Amino acid sequence: MTTAASPQLSFAAVRERLVAREEIALLDVREEDPFAQEHPLWAANLALSRIEIEAWRRIPRRDTLIVLYGAHDGIDLAPLAAKTLASLGYSNVHLLEGGLEGWRAAGGELFRDVNVPSKSFGELVEHERHTPSLSAPEVKALVDGKANVVVLDARRFDEYQTMSIPSATSVPGAELVLRVRELAPDPATQVIVNCAGRTRSIIGTQSLVNAGIPNPVAALRNGTIGWKLAGQVLDHGADRQAPAAVSDAHRAQAQADARRVADRAGVRRIALDALQTLEAPGRTVYRFDVRTPEEYAVGHLPGFASAPGGQLVQETDHQVPVRGARIVLADDDGVRASMSASWLVQMGWEVYVPDVVPAASALIETAAPASAYPPVAAIVGEITPIDLAALLKQPGTAVIDVTTSANYVKRHIPGAWYLIRAQLGHALEAVIPSAQRYVLTCGSSLLARYAAADLRALLDARGKGDVEVLVLAGGNTAWFAAGLEIESGETRLATPRTDRYRRPYEGTDAPAEAMQAYLDWEYGLVAQLGRDGTHHFNVI
């Protein structure tokens, strides 16, 4: 088993593999917020707290070359992560020599924020293709003046509902080429594409340009951030969506356009019955259905996970953490897979699309691929919500909630402590009072079971074998469903809320200074790419 003496790989060795396009998973095992502060371009975030429930899905091949780093608050989390991955069957795990500081000392470029490969690629696309854009005041004047214009929001529908440009319609990125003609049948109609910041606006706009639609197209420069910085008002709770139906003529045109763009980019075609040939020794294969989640749920190809194309292009570091892996994209129309694939190929990925659009009879699966989880190291008992509620009326029981901090703040069991699982030992020693009994919970109880095993081992090591450790059966979901009392807010934080990085463009209350700083950061990404030199981006 891999231990703290795991083999190490130097910055030079990791960089050499990235440049050679050989498979490697460079993993930052800190929480998302410290990861977002600085990391290498191709590092993917896989927090130590969640390794057991994410690793097998995100890194499917157990002999993948994995390189770990992640020191936080003076504690190097990487050796424990290596040990955990070895226990999950991964046989080629290394530590990054010198960790993140070693990378920096060797001259490696470090990037801020999340989804950096996609965001830096978007900036390069605009830099090289001069993607047309209009400022927020210019777009507002068009909208207010009832001009012949449509505004298409390329984000997820939930993001659009949080805040949107007045009159905008939700059309997530991969849907644009397929549905734009339904929304702008007049070729004289000005089409505006927006997102929260820049990337999805740029990629969405350039998708329509590449596809050759006859309309004038422009990105809303700097998205909803630019709109707010201009002192303009956003809508909240909008629900306009593109028509579900697409005419035969518009679909046929979109299919031809998307196929032409994909061929130009170098997307590879493969027969459905030949997909297994991609899974050669030493090669990782990811299979994604890039349609909407609603279409995916009705039926999809066996073994394909749902990853709407616009978000897949936006979040490649999360969805495909093994750089150099192969990717297969599918849909039921030949438009969304081809357009999404065209962007991934330009980002340096080896991408395949079925050479024939799958027939309806092939879309036989209605559930997502089943997730497998490793066994829990220690078996602990369960307690029902009703029994826990009774215990909490008396002293001696402490509830520890390892759900996401956002969910904890939204609602949790009264008196429950929030903590990040990887920081359990410190929190137990310095923050959470001793108890006769600890009950672990999370949204479903899945992560809580692994945390309970950690806690059992900690207590045993400290000579507290008589202290009881339980898991709430069904987790917080079961507690809420039982109609039991809840509370909200940051009532008991045993660890800081670093599990998630607060994006400067999310929500409705981001300070103007933070939004402007975010835009300034994006403008500098092209220069960073040049200094890094490992990206293999090739804009067509």
Length of the chain: 540
Residue 296 C-beta-side C-alpha neighbours within 13 Å = 20
State the pTM of this model: 0.94
Does 8-116 carry CATH code 3.40.250.10?
A: yes
pLDDT in tens, 156-185: 999 999 999 999 999 999 999 999 999 999
| Secondary structure letter of residue 326 according to DSSP | E
The CATH code of the domain at 266-362 is 3.40.250.10
Three-state SS for 177? helix
pLDDT in tens, 45-65: 999 999 999 999 999 999 999
Does 127-238 carry CATH code 3.40.250.10?
A: yes
Residue 457 vs residues 311, 427, 434, 450: alpha-carbon distances, Å: 39, 15, 16, 11
Separation CA 326–CA 278 (nearest Å): 8
User: Residue 97: phi, psi to the nearest 5?
Assistant: -60, 120
Class of domain 381-481: alpha beta
User: Residue 470: phi, psi to the nearest 5?
Assistant: -130, 160
The predicted structure's pLDDT at residue 508: 65
Question: Quick count: other Cβ atoms within 10 Å of Cβ 112?
Answer: 15
Encoded tokens for 421 = 């699982």
- Which of 323, 286, 316 minimizes the C-alpha distance to 26? 323
* pLDDT for residue 407 is more than 80: yes
- Which of 165, 155, 136 minimizes the C-alpha distance to 235? 165
* pLDDT for residue 431 is more than 70: yes
- Residue 76's Cβ-count burial label (10 Å; 0-12, 13-18, 19+) is middle
The predicted structure's pLDDT at residue 233: 95
Rounded mean pLDDT, 432-460: 96
The predicted structure's pLDDT at residue 2: 39
Q: Are 379 and 300 in contact (CB under 8 A)?
A: no
* pLDDT for residue 3 is more than 80: no
Report how far Cα 240 is from the mean position of its chain's Cα atoms: 25
Asked if the domains 127-238 and 381-481 are classified in one and the same CATH topology, the answer is yes
Residue in the block written with tokens 């699309």: 353
* pLDDT for residue 4 is more than 60: no
- Which of 448, 178, 211 minimizes the C-alpha distance to 291? 178
Burial 50-65 (b: 16+ CB within 10 A, else e): bbbbbbbebbebeebb
Dihedral angle computed from the Cα positions of residues 517, 519, 524 and 526, in that order, rounded to the nearest 10 degrees: 160
pLDDT in tens, 520-536: 888 999 999 999 999 99
The predicted structure's pLDDT at residue 1: 38
Question: Which residues share a beta bridge with 396?
Answer: none
Encoded tokens for 1 = 């088993």
pLDDT in tens, 363-393: 999 988 888 899 998 889 999 999 999 999 9
Show me where the domains of the chain are located.
8-116, 127-238, 266-362, 381-481
pLDDT in tens, 297-316: 999 999 999 999 999 999 99
Residue in the block written with tokens 């356009």: 257
CA dihedral over 16, 22, 26, 32, signed as positive or negative: positive
Encoded tokens for 391 = 């215990």
